[in-house]
Amino acid sequence: MSNPFLKQVFNKDKTFRPKRKFEPGTQRFELHKKAQASLNAGLDLKLAVQLPSGEELNDWVAVHVVDFFNRVNLIYGTISDGCTEQSCPIMSGGPKYEYRWQDEHKFRKPTALSAPRYMDLLMDWIEVQINNEDIFPTNVGTPFPKNFLQVVKKILSRLFRVFVHVYIHHFDRIAQMGSEAHVNTCYKHFYYFVKEFGLIDTKELEPLKEMTARMCH
């Protein structure tokens, strides 16, 4: 394995979170396989994200949210040793954008935090959501909650902030590891998906607008 990005990803010392997996034999596992097959076949990403005929939107979205969480987690994991309290005392995306953390527990008001602290809270929070059976039911036939897409929008908006921080503050590290093409593909896949289903407000996409215009024609 000569690619340093893959070496980092498979490095056992790196403490990546456990992947949320889909049980074989379930409808969602089949959807996951279908989505992966489209990507592996080199299908145009714009087409690959479209809802397959006869499939439920919520199921398709659930599969992708979990997949994006796993991928973005890995991307951040590869640069995390260079994202420290010292290098990134504020969770930002350039001088114009600062992200503050808010949740239902400790941080009830939007709070300025360092990027690594923000990332930890963000990944923990998403992990709790996607492992909550009431929000992401794993049993086929168990209905999704009425506010499912609302929760998804919040998850995806927060994951987008990871892309913003990585691209603006740590891109030299990504390039140095030779993983630029991989990260760009993940970003394009994510971007086409959220645009296809209207899952992120346009204003959230502002920080990477120029790059996105070049990359996602």
Q: Do residues 154 and 80 make contact, with C-beta atoms less than 8 angstroms apart?
A: no
pLDDT at 21: 56
pLDDT at 8: 42
Q: From residue 138, give the alpha-carbon distance in Å to each of 24, 38, 81, 172, 193.
A: 11, 23, 34, 39, 22
Q: Where are the domains of the chain?
A: 24-81+118-216
Q: From residue 116, give the alpha-carbon distance in Å to each of 65, 66, 110, 151, 211.
A: 22, 21, 16, 23, 24
83 assigned ligand-binding residue: yes
pLDDT at 1: 36
The answer to whether the pTM exceeds 0.95 is: no
pLDDT at 61: 95
* Torsion sign over Cα 178, 181, 182, 184: positive
88 assigned ligand-binding residue: yes
Fold of 24-81+118-216: Butyryl-CoA Dehydrogenase, subunit A; domain 3 (1.20.140)
pLDDT tens for the chain, residues 1 to 217: 344 444 444 333 344 454 555 555 555 556 666 666 655 555 688 988 999 888 889 999 998 999 999 999 999 999 999 999 999 999 999 889 999 999 888 888 999 999 999 999 999 999 999 999 999 988 777 899 999 999 999 999 999 999 999 999 999 999 998 889 889 999 999 999 999 999 999 999 999 999 999 998 6
pLDDT at 142: 84
